[in-house]
A and B are shown apart, each in its own frame.
Chain A
Amino acid sequence: MTDSKYFTTTKKGEIFELKAELNSDKKEKKKEAVKKVIASMTVGKDVSALFPDVVNCMQTDNLELKKLVYLYLMNYAKSQPDMAIMAVNTFVKDCEDPNPLIRALAVRTMGCIRVDKITEYLCEPLRKCLKDEDPYVRKTAAVCVAKLHDINAQLVEDQGFLDTLKDLISDSNPMVVANAVAALSEIAESHPNSNLLDLNPQSINKLLTALNECTEWGQIFILDCLANYTPRDDRESQSICERVTPRLSHANSAVVLSAVKVLMKFMEMLPKDLDYYGTLLKKLAPPLVTLLSAEPELQYVALRNINLIVQKRPEILKHEMKVFFVKYNDPIYVKLEKLDIMIRLASQANIAQVLAELKEYATEVDVDFVRKAVRAIGRCAIKVEQSAERCVSTLLDLIQTKVNYVVQEAIVVIKDIFRKYPNKYESVIATLCENLDSLDEPEARAAMIWIVGEYAERIDNADELLESFLEGFHDESTQVQLQLLTAIVKLFLKKPTETQELVQQVLSLATQDSDNPDLRDRGYIYWRLLSTDPVAAKEVVLAEKPLISEETDLIEPTLLEELICHIGTLASVYHKPPSAFVEGSRGVMHKRLPARTGSGEGTECPDVGNAAGGSAPEAAPSIIPSQGDLLGDLLNLDLAPPTTTGPTPSTSGMQMGGMDLLGGGLDSLVGTMGAGFGAAPTVMPASLNAPVGGGLGDLFDLGGGVGMPMGAYIPPKTVWLPAMKAKGLEISGTFARRAGVIQMELVLTNKAMSVMTDFAIQFNRNSFGLAPAGPLQVLTPLGPNQTIEVSLPLSTVGPVMKMDPLNNLQVAVKNNIDVFYFSCQYPISMLFVEDGKMERQVFLATWKDIPNDNESQFQIQDCHLNSEAASNKLQGSNIFTIAKRTVEGQDMLYMSIKLSNGIWVLAELKVQAGNPNYTISLKCRAPEVSQCVFQCYEAVLKN
């Protein structure tokens, strides 16, 4: 007799029959009936009507039957909460059963019944089970706490289960420890600010011990938890790494990847000159290569992760190119990923081999794969200059095959090659033009049009070619339309006599007959440029284009860092932060790599947005360039100011290769106009100063500030965020140091029509670790036209990242409407601490000790203070005069400054009576701060 008969289609009146069987006296018949019910449930039939009858079968000695009934209960309890109560007694009784398997079964099942009334009854049995003598019951109870927390978090906290769970981390049984760690990690995720896991060297030690003893799954839980810890210093980091490396030889790939995650993260803290650092790098390569012999699904996960790892640390796998060569039998998803990594690892040393492979791949059958291989050839040309010639000739060979999609793909990459090596390969244009008619994909058409426009002066019939596209202008995609518009304007500027009619035509098509605002705007801009000042138009439209960067398709660094912290997880497979695909509060917390200098300060920084009850994403990670849109950007770059690597902002487009134009081109166009029209998109951090900051750079040049004679210098308030960029919210502010506390003084003005609430603020990582010391205190809602002044105390223990300029600070402010970003510069004098007065002897020794290369000299002009007054004024800003010497009518003041991060700056100020120009020499072990310090001198002395 087999069980498959339960799956056979059912006749009418089945429910009724089942009911009778469930109430039968015969045990066997009962069991058969329950099996039938479960089978019906599996295939999606509603058997909830049988609830009371099934629950009646619950009290039985037969464990198999009991389990089936429990399974039923878990499925239907929610829809029948009142009846589910009937089951409670049995559960409570089972939790006292002498058999540990039954106790565990009861507590495991109860946790899965999501009925409020039942959870109340669950507390007592759970408390007992958490302290059960049997480890099997304890490990089940540990997970049950997480289940209960998911249903009723408050209840779990009130009942003190969290503390009991924490105690289980010290349990003698490794599996109990592992499950407790898993449960705590999950609960901690929904409470980003609670210090639930309380990782400290002692608890880490316990985890590392349990790591050696628990099951493969337990090892994964523990390693994933370890990855959230930030060691205090490089020594602790090294000792943890040493204890984690043996896991790299585990047969379970997930254990290996989680170990790699811990190592990649902690390695950040190790000094690069350390021997162990090199050893560790060497140890990482073999296990990563071994992952490629796992099953294809795991290979895919491994390859997606390796893609991140080679971007972060290319040195690890640079000699392993061959293992990424595509095998004939690989599934397509493995092939595509391998191709990506091959390009990343391509270098002058191995390019010949790589090209030979790529050429091979371009003749395969899978269209996506072939396209990617063709594109890869182009990327190799851009990456490895020596190979460009060979790549171009390979591409030409491929164009000769006349396979439609190969030709189109080749044209798209050749356009990039032109951008990288101008005036080198233009001889191939003729060949490209031959294939004009076969292009049917927007991207290839746009690329071809770009080429025709760009090289219009060398193509005799450029006007005819472009005109042929113009016929079906309105049927083209936006990408092609924009490109055609630009190309024709270029053509006109190059050959004005013959093409006047054409340009008129395209301008009127773009401005009058189109619904697309982007197209219209671009059309109008050209029109006005051409009609007002053709010379200027020429300068703008035919401006020399910056070369495109060597590495394309790189993941933006902050995102990359975050993804490295998520190695092995879905985030690393999608190449997106968890917040992009996880709902609710989970996963909103951004993870970061620790800073190498991190000595105690480099703690995991909780999301400030969460602290304020909101979920403001951080300034930098919000920029998620999707792969492949460099190309999109390039198409429009002909008008844009230079961008660095060119990822345009976009948050959608999960799979790579999704051509994501998202208006990147137009926004950059607007950028050239010099006035941010409309809602500017999120801007690259590196270019934040330019478009957003406006007049921020001259913060210090503004005269007539409210300088205080003896106190610290406070620069006047400036507008940081104009209302037009922030949907009506205007922010101006300044920085001050009062009684040793750095404060950010903000003035928030609501220039919109609606009330603003729920303010929160957050900083991106910055040079001196500035971070809000508390939430932004805007307690009352901000009505229209209201202004509020807020003072935000800052701490200097936040995460550190060197900014350019050094005193640049990127800020995100959130309110109920949106999240806004701006950047500002703080005077470095805010960071001068009160105990910055150095001993004379120490000063002398330090001055000599700092190499002369670190000395920089500046002139302060038009300062009419005598040395005495200057010294007093500087003292107010914590610049301390240690000694004064007078030589030949010249006062030499020796001064010391200490920055909040412990950097000392020594200064020698020369003041000559009657001469308004001072000379100042600054010496510091970190010479990059000198410029900022000088600016402070100037600001303080002149105000």
Chain B
Amino acid sequence: MIGGLFIYNHKGEVLISRVYRDDIGRNAVDAFRVNVIHARQQVRSPVTNIARTSFFHVKRSNIWLAAVTKQNVNAAMVFEFLYKMCDVMASYFGKISEENIKNNFVLIYELLDEILDFGYPQNSETGSLKTFITQQGIKGQTKEEQSQITSQVTGQIGWRREGIKYRRNELFLDVLESVNLLMSPQGQVLSAHVSGRVVMKSYLSGMPECKFGMNDKIIIDKAGKGGVTNEAGKSTSGKQSIAIDDCTFNQCVRLSKFDSERSISFIPPDGEYELMRYRTTKDIILPFRVIPLVREVGRTKLEVKVVIKSNFKPSLLAQKIEVRIPTPLNTSGVQVICMKGKAKYKASENAIVWKIKRMAGMKESQISAEIELLPTNDKKKWARPPISMNFEVPFAPSGLKVRYLKVFESKLNYSDHDVIKWVRYIGRSGIYETRC
């Protein structure tokens, strides 16, 4: 298990040092500084073995967090714990910086005492930690309050405390997707996938039981079979069901229920958290199509024409569109003409950058450029890097739709109808490239 945990600043000075096991000595603190922080070359591995002692480290801005052990620990767990540690600290005092760590070192020691016992991670949910690690002392607690704290820290729902009250029950659901594409010059999709996240902000009273539904193909097909026929089921729900390759859930979701019924049910943490992540590769809506045309005119000139077509409902608007057209290294001058937006040749980046603020669906726009080249004796041909694109669209390129999010709280008298729900879809470009 974890034998010790150290936090260093960028110079390698120790800010926090907490040793959990007898086999870790003070010299371990120095060993890491000398061999990793002060090492000349770039970090070659996040796990370092120095004199039979293993160091796991992560970096947050200038700060190094290192977990130390002499045993065969679960390495994945150690890193997950270090990330969690960062989350907890961030939620207590904001950005993880030298200043903040020094200002809160007593708090950090108190947290480290609580969330790591003999090197075993314990409950590390900020929701419940904040009920009893307050830096204010826990004087005025009644016996009931104390036992409520302990039962919550050790309980099945360690991520939420009892007795939360809101005047207005409200929840915000964001479906955030990043769409990745590699397309051939002829418009053939070489690879495409969407990685998405469902982020939720919940401000709900009590211990609400939630059920989240989306247009998951497996569920829809199941429901379809239960109904009249598969065909009829499809027509009622439209073509809109999507095949999800894989998904992972926040620990509040009952995994066994998802495995057996594929239903997503949970008691949400309070405030903002990530409910799930998913990945899809089938039937992706590609918001933009890039059609490149590159012509070499003699040895000193290139003619480039790029057409972009938006491929979504005309009523929707895409934003922050940026097309990046690479130019050869021996470019001497560029003339650009574009119908919409602004385009500029950036010599330092070897690219023409074309920016459009907004663009509606089912439109197209084009840019043409003449690139003057310096004659070179370099035999090597220009490798023609792909044209890349950035954008943001107000829908989910995977086609994911939130069908419902039901809230049940049996003890308090508010019902699903009283909860105000907001759903938002944002699709962003990941690595979105077209070869030319």
Contact = CB atoms under 8 A, between A and B. Distances in A.
B46 A100 contact: no
A883 interface: no
A568 B74 contact: yes
Interface string A90-114: 0000000011110010001001101
A7 B102 contact: yes
Given A100-B146, A175-B123, A569-B73, A44 B80 contact: no
Interface in B64-90: 69-77, 79-83
Contacts of A221: 120
Interface in B239-269: 245-251, 254-256, 258-260
Contacts of A100: 146-147, 150
Interface stretch (A291-299, A641-649, A844-852): A291-299
Interface stretch (B153-161, B343-351, B418-426): B153-161
B122 interface: yes
Contacts of B72: 566, 569-571, 578, 581-582, 586-587
Nearest to B276: A251
B137 A43 contact: no
Q: Point out which of A4, A247, A571 has the most chain B C-beta atoms below 10 A from its C-beta.
A: A4
Interface in B1-50: 1, 13-17, 19-23, 26, 29, 42-47, 49
B117 to A, nearest CB: 5
B56 interface: yes
B105 A179 contact: no
Nearest to B156: A213
A38 B277 contact: no
B416 interface: no
B195 interface: yes
A570 B75 CA distance: 5
Contact of A217 (B122, B147, B249, B279): B122
Contact of B154 (A7, A135, A322, A327): A135
Nearest to A289: B246
B251 A251 contact: yes
Contact of A139 (B49, B73, B154): B154
A386 B42 CA distance: 38
A669 interface: no
A361 interface: no
Contact of A43 (B14, B20, B70, B147): B14
Nearest to B158: A215
Q: Point out which of B29, B42, B69, B122 has the most chain A C-beta atoms below 10 A from its C-beta.
A: B122
B118 A297 contact: no
B106 A38 contact: yes
Q: Point out which of B57, B74, B113 has the most chain A C-beta atoms below 10 A from its C-beta.
A: B74
Interface string B108-128: 011001000110111111000
A540 interface: no
Contacts of A578: 72
B139 A2 contact: no
What is the interface residue range for chain B against chain A?
35 or more
Interface of B is mostly: mixed
Contact of B80 (A254, A327, A569): A254
A287 interface: yes
Contact of B76 (A62, A213, A253, A587): A253
B120 A287 contact: no
Given A289-B279, A295-B79, A573-B75, A249 B106 contact: no
B103 interface: yes
Interface residues of A, number: 102
A70 B114 CA distance: 13
Contacts of A35: 106
Contact of A212 (B29, B43, B247, B256): B256
20 contacts: A38-B106, A38-B109, A135-B154, A135-B155, A136-B150, A143-B118, A174-B156, A212-B255, A243-B256, A246-B259, A249-B259, A252-B80, A253-B79, A254-B76, A295-B79, A298-B76, A322-B191, A569-B73, A574-B49, A582-B72
Interface of A: 2-4, 6-7, 35, 38-39, 42-44, 61-64, 67-68, 70-71, 75, 98-101, 104, 108, 111-112, 114, 134-137, 139-140, 143-144, 146-147, 150, 173-176, 179, 182, 186, 212-217, 220-221, 224, 243, 245-247, 249-254, 256-258, 286-287, 289-290, 293, 295-298, 300-302, 322, 327, 331-333, 368, 566, 568-574, 578, 581-583, 586-587, 654
Given A221-B120, A296-B46, A300-B45, 14 more contacts: A42-B14, A64-B135, A134-B150, A139-B154, A216-B80, A251-B249, A254-B74, A258-B76, A290-B246, A290-B277, A293-B279, A300-B47, A301-B79, A573-B75
Interface of B: 1, 13-17, 19-23, 26, 29, 42-47, 49, 52, 54, 56-58, 69-77, 79-83, 99, 102-106, 109-110, 113, 117-118, 120-125, 132, 135, 137-139, 141, 143, 146-147, 149-151, 153-156, 158, 191, 195, 245-251, 254-256, 258-260, 274, 276-277, 279, 431
